[in-house]
Amino acid sequence: MLDCDRKLEALIAALKNKGVKPVGRLSKPRIKTKQVNTPTFDVRAALYGVLGVDLTEIHGLGPSLALKLIGECGTDLRAWPSAKHFTSWLCLAPGNKISGGKVLSLRTRRSSSRAAALLRLAATTVGRSDTALGAFYRRLASRAGKSKAVTATARKIAVLFYNTLRHGMSYKDPGADRYEQQYRSRVLANLQRRSKSLSFVLQAIPGEDANPAVPQPTWRRKRHEVRLRREAPDDLAGGMAMRVNRPFSCGLLSSYHSSSLQ
């Protein structure tokens, strides 16, 4: 094992002379505990000397896993023009089967790629962390299942890996709370747009905070009660307006609209 580590360190040192010169000093590691079966030398510093970027800033990628990904994909990713080409090569992108303008299937293709297997392992690990990627994994797992959540999260990590190695991107995790706030704002904006198209107005329940500071990760699993007000057209007598005082679930929006028109 020691002989293998020495040879591996010598090969990385040979690549260091041909690689990109790193700019600045290497930051402190996120994880200070030593992982099992890691090489005896400092893999993180060796990769930083070769690549000029720190891949371990991406949550889910440790030094050993980053070294394995470099061994599978190489240090030059110019063979893939974009991140979409890279994820398609890894079979992590949806495989669109279209016939006659109709989408028949969106399943990802099967692959024996070891790089894809490593990214799926990283996705499973990051799903238990309090990060934006972890919040994305848990939200998708509760809705579509863990297998699809692993694939989708692995694709996100692959895009981060590509952008970091190809374009020198520096990844900073916004945190799970920030991700939940952005997701909540996006869902509310979609609901407001949908209600407006159906001649409804979305109103928050009085006495409740419309923008909580720290949203709960499971808020979407509960029905978000809102009060709906439907304004009658101007051609009705007196311009009367009908207010519905019963709290409605967002999922019953379209059913109530159709029943009110009958």
Domain boundary among 167, 188, 220: 167
Cβ atoms 120, 153 nearer than 8 A: no
Amino acid type, 17? N
Residue 173: inside a domain? no
Q: pLDDT at position 80, please? A: 93
What's the pLDDT tens digit per position in 206-229?
876 655 544 444 433 333 333 333
196 exposure class (CB count in 10 Å sphere: 0-12, 13-18, 19+): exposed
Which residues span the domain enclosing 206?
Answer: 178-260
pLDDT of residue 39: 78
Residues 201, 246: Cα–Cα separation, whole Å:
14
Among 108, 143, 167, where does a domain finish? 167
- The answer on pLDDT for 257 being more than 50 is no
53 and 137 assigned to the same domain: yes
Instruction: State the pTM of this model.
Output: 0.71
> Please, what is the average pLDDT of the chain?
77
Q: Which of 167, 198, 223 is the last residue of a domain?
A: 167
pLDDT, tens digit (0-9, with 9 covering 90-100), for 7-58: 877 877 777 766 566 666 777 777 767 777 777 788 888 888 888 888 989 9
Tell me: do 56 and 114 sit in the same domain. yes
Instruction: Note whether 216 and 114 are same-domain residues.
Output: no
Q: How many domains does the chain have?
A: 2
Give the rounded percent of residues in the chain with a pLDDT score beyond 90: 30
For residues 188 and 114, state if they share a domain: no
In this structure, are 233 and 187 located in the same domain?
yes
- Whether the pLDDT of residue 258 is over 70: the answer is no
pLDDT (tens digit per residue) in 64-121: 899 999 989 988 899 999 999 999 999 998 877 788 888 777 788 888 889 999 999 9
- Rounded to whole angstroms, the Cα distance separating 262 from 258 reads 7
Radius of gyration, alpha carbons of the chain: 25
Q: DSSP strand E in the chain: where?
A: 97-99, 102-105, 200-203, 225-231, 241-243, 248-249
